Amino acid sequence: MGFPAQRPRRLRTTPAMRRLVSETEVRPRQLVLPVFVREGATEPTPIASMPGVVQHSRDSLRKAAADAASAGVGGIMLFGVPEHHDAIGSGATDPDGILNVGLRDVRAEVGDDLVVMADLCLDEFTDHGHCGVLDEQGVVDNDATLEVYARMGVEQARAGAHVVGPSGMMDGQVGVIRAALDDEGFHDTGILAYTAKYASAFYGPFREAVNSQLKGDRRTYQQDGANGREGLRELALDLEEGADMVMVKPGMPYLDVLARIAEVSDVPVATYQISGEYAMIEAAAAQGWLDRDRTILEALTSFRRAGADVILTYWATEAAGWLD
């Protein structure tokens, strides 16, 4: 019985050897920190289902942005948590609404040291929790919602967003927002299209994070988790409409979709390690069932290996410290 001529283990013998031949690297510049800023908050409010994540006050938001920039993180994505909700999400287009105020605060704090991004969606602001305005039958009205998105995008650009992230999965949203930004002279404001956003159970903790008022579900506009090719169709449409970057969300349950989109996209591809993914790892680590730090880095590496250029993760600032 002969011995094997091929011994792949030779390339795994020492840490230096493994580092030398490693195929995939995660760097701080590739990470984006999602943050929540709560209207009226005077101090950070912990989110029970997301240990270590908070609803920020305006002051703590500025500190979080400064810490991220110091750690070498690439960007920050803001979500607003308003005190009041209404049927049309009017706080989203209010120049003095919490999200736009937060954007101004962050730009004042970090300038261009971070790419400042804004979630462009109505779900945090509506009293029904849907991502758009409803018609008389209680169904999300796609085209009426686009008109609000256009105004929302312009206000976010005025507030200082380098990039707006339309996440509502309305047909035509990228094109309408691009036209509105250009009409107002915001030619350099980028659009991160939530190209393949799935109706997922993994969003659960996010509902607490934004005090969601959701009634029902979002399956009539977010993608069906059983569909992969559909993401490629959405990609083609978003690119045609002028997307500067594209997103797959959630992350780990849809690595196959991420890989397929990354293979054909000619713009940078992002993915979002969402609240449920975060909560699972934190909960298992708290029980001693997982090595927390190793698990986080393995998950981040999986996104990069699948083709992500940008990763939105609640561990961005912490992980950046490990990576450097």
Residue 206 binned pLDDT confidence (cut-offs 50, 70, 90): confident
pLDDT at residue 5 in the model: 83
- For residue 63, pLDDT over 90 is answered with yes
197 is catalytic: yes
Mean pLDDT, range 219-224, rounded to an integer: 88
Q: Which pLDDT tens digit goes with each residue over 5-20? A: 889 999 999 999 999 9
Mean pLDDT, range 229-241, rounded to an integer: 97
63 is catalytic: no
Q: Which of 85, 249, 260, 304 is catalytic?
A: 249
pTM comes to 0.95
Q: Which of 197, 218, 260, 304 is catalytic?
A: 197
Residue 138 binned pLDDT confidence (cut-offs 50, 70, 90): confident
What average pLDDT does the structure give for the chain?
Answer: 95
- For residue 1, pLDDT over 70 is answered with no
* Domain covering 25-323 assigned CATH 3.30.70.120 in the classification: no
Mean pLDDT, range 17-27, rounded to an integer: 96
- For residue 213, pLDDT over 80 is answered with no
Q: Among positive and negative, which fits the CA dihedral 160, 61, 90, 128? A: positive
Where do the DSSP E strands lie in the chain?
A: 31-38, 45-46, 54-56, 75-81, 115-120, 163-166, 190-197, 245-249, 269-272, 310-312
